[in-house]
């Protein structure tokens, strides 16, 4: 009998939840609690951390979880690392649903960097109009280059003072090409900072940058530990279906 835990928080995780609900597989969907009103899911949902890898291992045992699916965002590195450690400790099967990174297309002008600090270093010294499309949690280092005009995009309105002067767009995506083109033209954006999230929900800004001939400082993904990894919901359902047959 399957009782799956879906570590969610992305568009792909929502698609997976719908398939799992449709198949009638028992599962719990998990959000980290980063946003005020996360999208409703067709599965019983929990919100908030587990208390590290040990907390997650305890949760798995307590809730008699039989399968863990890490469908978190490629930059949710701590959650993914904890899932590997907790599943090893609890002896529970783990699979990751992880979309492929975006790859440069002809006409893309990317400055590839490894983290937020090297992204700040890659900014020009001369003041520019910069769109920081990396959310809320990791913007503090940009205070080191206050000469730029920054546009930020958050899911929820800012609760605290920003670490530097900036204009904040409040929008949870997914975003459209027309919307991104219009925003960048209206605001005179000259440069974009983005994470290589992959997927379709945030790729419009990358396509808009190419069309407008704008450079993108592209932050590459954090290293994650080895674990079984697939890129499609169908492969996850196959993995569950296979186990379901065995466990039936």
Partner from ligand 3Y8, ligand NAP, none contacting 50, C-beta within 5 to 8 A by type: ligand NAP
222 lines the binding site for ligand 3Y8 (CB under 6 A):
no
119 touches 217 (CB < 8 A):
yes
Q: Residue 96: beta bridge partners?
A: 70, 229
Token pair of 51, please? 């208390």
Residue from 202, 206, 217, 233 in contact with ligand 3Y8 (CB under 6 A): 202
Minimum CB distance to ligand 3Y8 smaller for 63 or for 156: 156
The alpha carbon of 11 is separated from its chain's Cα centroid by a whole number of angstroms, namely: 9
Minimum CB distance to ligand NAP smaller for 32 or for 244: 32
Distance CA(237)–CA(234), nearest Å, equals: 5
Binding site for ligand NAP (CB under 6 A): 7-10, 30-32, 34, 49-52, 55-56, 72-73, 75-79, 82, 135, 195
Partner from ligand 3Y8, ligand NAP, none contacting 39, C-beta within 5 to 8 A by type: ligand 3Y8
Token pair of 242, please? 């296979």
> What track of x and - describes contact with ligand 3Y8 for positions 87 through 126 (by CB under 6 A)?
----------------------------------------
- The number of C-alpha atoms within 13 Å of 221 and in the hemisphere containing its C-beta is 19
31 lines the binding site for ligand 3Y8 (CB under 6 A):
yes
133 lines the binding site for ligand 3Y8 (CB under 6 A):
yes
Q: How many CB atoms lie within 10 A of CB 159?
A: 8
Question: DSSP E strands: which ranges in 71-148?
Answer: 94-97, 110-113, 129-133
Length of the chain: 248
Partner from ligand NAP, ligand 3Y8, none contacting 78, C-beta within 5 to 8 A by type: ligand NAP
DSSP class of 232: -
> What track of x and - describes contact with ligand 3Y8 for positions 39 through 78 (by CB under 6 A)?
x---------------------------------------
Q: Cβ of residue 107: shortest distance to ligand NAP, in angstroms?
A: 26
210 lines the binding site for ligand 3Y8 (CB under 6 A):
no
Distance CA(192)–CA(136), nearest Å, equals: 15
Distance CA(132)–CA(157), nearest Å, equals: 15
């Amino acid at each position: 009998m399957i009782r799956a835990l879906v570590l969610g928080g992305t568009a792909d995780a929502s698609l997976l939840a719908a398939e799992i609900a449709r198949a009638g597989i028992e599962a719990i969907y998990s959000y980290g609690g980063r946003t005020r009103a996360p999208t409703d899911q067709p599965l019983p949902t929990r919100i908030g951390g587990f208390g590290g890898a040990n907390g997650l291992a305890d949760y798995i045992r307590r809730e008699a979880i039989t399968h863990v699916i890490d469908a978190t965002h490629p930059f949710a590195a701590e959650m993914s690392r904890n899932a590997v450690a907790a599943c090893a400790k609890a002896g529970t099967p783990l699979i990751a649903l992880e979309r492929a990174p975006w790859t440069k297309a002809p006409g893309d002008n990317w400055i590839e960097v490894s983290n937020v600090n090297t992204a700040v270093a890659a900014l020009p010294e001369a003041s520019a109009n910069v769109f920081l499309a990396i959310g809320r949690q990791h913007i503090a280092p940009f205070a080191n280059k206050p000469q730029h005009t920054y546009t930020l995009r958050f899911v929820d309105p800012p609760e605290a003072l920003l670490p530097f002067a900036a204009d904040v767009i409040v929008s949870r995506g997914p975003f459209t090409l027309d919307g991104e083109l219009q925003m960048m033209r209206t605001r005179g954006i000259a440069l974009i900072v983005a994470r290589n999230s992959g997927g379709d929900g945030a790729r419009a800004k990358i396509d808009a940058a190419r069309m407008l001939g704008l450079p993108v400082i592209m932050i590459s993904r954090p290293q994650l530990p080895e674990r079984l990894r697939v890129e499609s919901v169908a492969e996850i359902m196959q993995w569950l279906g296979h186990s379901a047959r065995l466990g039936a």
